[in-house]
Amino acid sequence: MAKIPLNLPKPLADKLPDAFGGSGAGVVPVVRLQGMIASGGAGFGRVLSAESVEEPLRRAFTTHGAKAVALLINSPGGSPTQSEYIAARIRQLATEHELPVLAFCEDVVASGGYWLACAADEIYATATSVVGSVGVISAGFGFSELIDRLGIERRLHSAGEAKARLDPFFAEKSEDVQWLEQIQEGIHDEFRDWVVGRRGGKLKAAEAELFDGDVWLGRRAVELGIVDGIGTLREVVEKRFPDATIEMTGPRRSLFAKLGLPAASWDDVAAAIVGAANTRVAWSRYGR
């Protein structure tokens, strides 16, 4: 079939094959995955969830002329369940559209953030990226002595002995802590199995070192095999796909978002303030 001589704009020409007047160079769509991982949509605040990333992921994998999909990740982690949902969706789309996936670590790709990175076929970091934290953490407060001093009586009624486990207003019980540790160990096992299943023979250290919840800078992460190399998104993509166009892919924004206004209720705003505090704590654990 003869090439049709059309004077097409470069972005369109890159996406079309030669026979339709294009260059056939292709596109590498980029999906930014940034923020804490938690349940919920793309409402007030920046939260990564299966719901909030669905549209940008789908748009990236269905981009005409896509040669690969790049994930630009910056996350201290969060919900293991949402991490599993998002990672599974990435793999589903990659298989369906037969596209390789490249992950790029920015400041922090830790815990659930690294779970997402492992959904890619290759992972890259910068020398100063903080990567890893294959572990599980749970934090809270105990107020039992405080309410005693204030003369406050805690009244709690439940059906089922386990319903009030780890209530912060009661003294901590050893059996409740043991139960929590079992839950954490189960999640840790799932996390470890996911990393081993995705990284396979690339891992270059004993599991005791890799999966103790520690984090490493980029070059050490390469030595351990938890990432494949040092390089920024543009460096790697331009080397792998020299003629392709790099195209950022994001969710379509509402009018409120375009005007810089939160389309949220006061309850959402209050929740966002609390979420922001939790987010600040999560980032600070990695010096960021």
Q: Which amino acid is at 269?
A: V
Full pLDDT tens readout for the chain, 288 residues? 444 454 445 554 555 554 444 556 799 999 999 999 998 754 445 789 999 999 999 999 999 999 999 999 999 999 999 999 999 999 999 999 999 999 999 999 999 999 999 999 999 999 999 999 998 776 767 676 777 777 777 777 777 777 777 777 777 778 877 877 788 889 999 999 999 999 989 999 999 999 999 999 999 999 999 999 999 999 999 999 999 999 998 765 544 444 555 544 444 444 444 455 556 566 566 665
Furthest-apart CA atoms within the chain: distance in Å: 88
* One-letter amino acid for residue 112 of the chain: G
- Distance spanning both ends of the chain, measured CA to CA: 55
- Type of residue numbered 133: S
CB 10 within 8 A of CB 246: no
How would you classify residue 245: left for phi > 0, otherwise alpha for psi between -120 and 50, otherwise beta?
A: beta
Two tokens at 62? 């269905």
Distance CA 96, CA 98 (A): 6
**Beta carbons of 249 and 61 less than 8 angstroms apart:** no
Cβ-Cβ contacts under 8 Å for 226 (sequence gap 6 or more): 114, 123, 131, 132, 195, 199, 203, 210, 216
